[in-house]
Chains A and B, each alone.
Chain A
Amino acid sequence: MLTFEDFRPGHLGSFGPRYVSREEIIAFAAEFDPQPMHMDDQGGGQSLLGGLSASGWQMCGIMMRMMVDGFVGRAASLGSPGVEELRWLAPLRPGDTVTLEVDVVSARLSKSRPGVGIIVLKTALQNAAAVRLCEMTSTVMIGSRNQVSAE
């Protein structure tokens, strides 16, 4: 299991690829973000995005899933207090195949919670043409080796 000690500043890894279908873009939009630009080609074509594109919040979900499959799922994950900044840079289109680049910005132990590591990550989602679609700086909490072995 990955613990706090495994997260050192620098490149953590590249994750994916992950194919994104038209059906899942429309299904997510219908449930969470039913704006015309996320629902069909006509609505997308009339929008500033210039074509059917995934909800930005679906990008967030896809990034999270890629992180869970890539490393969070085998780490002593304790959750996340939040996201410092997230920028949507380019639309995610039906049929895109995306990859995720993750860097560790900083890693420290919590002063108030013994055994809890506070890791700041910089995450970038990009399509097959290496266009950056989304960039995020977020914080995750990961247990330290001592905390994990004490359980």
Chain B
Amino acid sequence: MIPRHLAIAMVVLVAAALGLSVYAWHMRRSVVTVPAAAVDTRPLGPPVTGPVERVVLFVAHDEDGTLRPEAAQVPMPSGRQQRAEELLQALLSIYLDKSSPHVLAPGAEVRSVFLVDPGAAVIDLNSAFADKHRSGALVEELTVASLIHTVSANTQGLLKVKILVDGKERDTLAGHADLSSYYDVAAVNQLASELQPQ
């Protein structure tokens, strides 16, 4: 004869085991249904060295279609080219943040910036930046103006800027903003002033 308290304990243990089994089954299902996050295969670059500087980024805001100057503290290397790249990395970190005022697609990157004398810059974007960019005249114009004006406002002597995608020429960013020619920095500066909040 099994004592009553042992029988009750057995029942409780069996019930607990069943409950845990159901819970484990439920957890396994939910894990299976969540898609695995894409593996980030980007190579890790060496950490940026250089003093932290106060720079001005020109940040696009979709809510009112404006371009606003925003001060930021960014570690800036000494080379002109590396400085331009760091400026755009800082800008993209704002756009890729959860509270982004101007959403870019996940994985959007500036691959590199080349400064070519006299007065030319080439900004090379990756395909995720352009292929998944939202389509529209204003939304594309804000992206282009933000990139070019941020670089030109912080880099002396720039006259013209070309935007490439994966190292190649492309007609438009996402169907509207022209990428086929060099942008005139003076004209983009004028556009940036048109895009300031009223």
Q: Do A and B bind each other?
A: no
- Which residues of B are at the interface with A, using a C-beta cutoff of 8 A? none
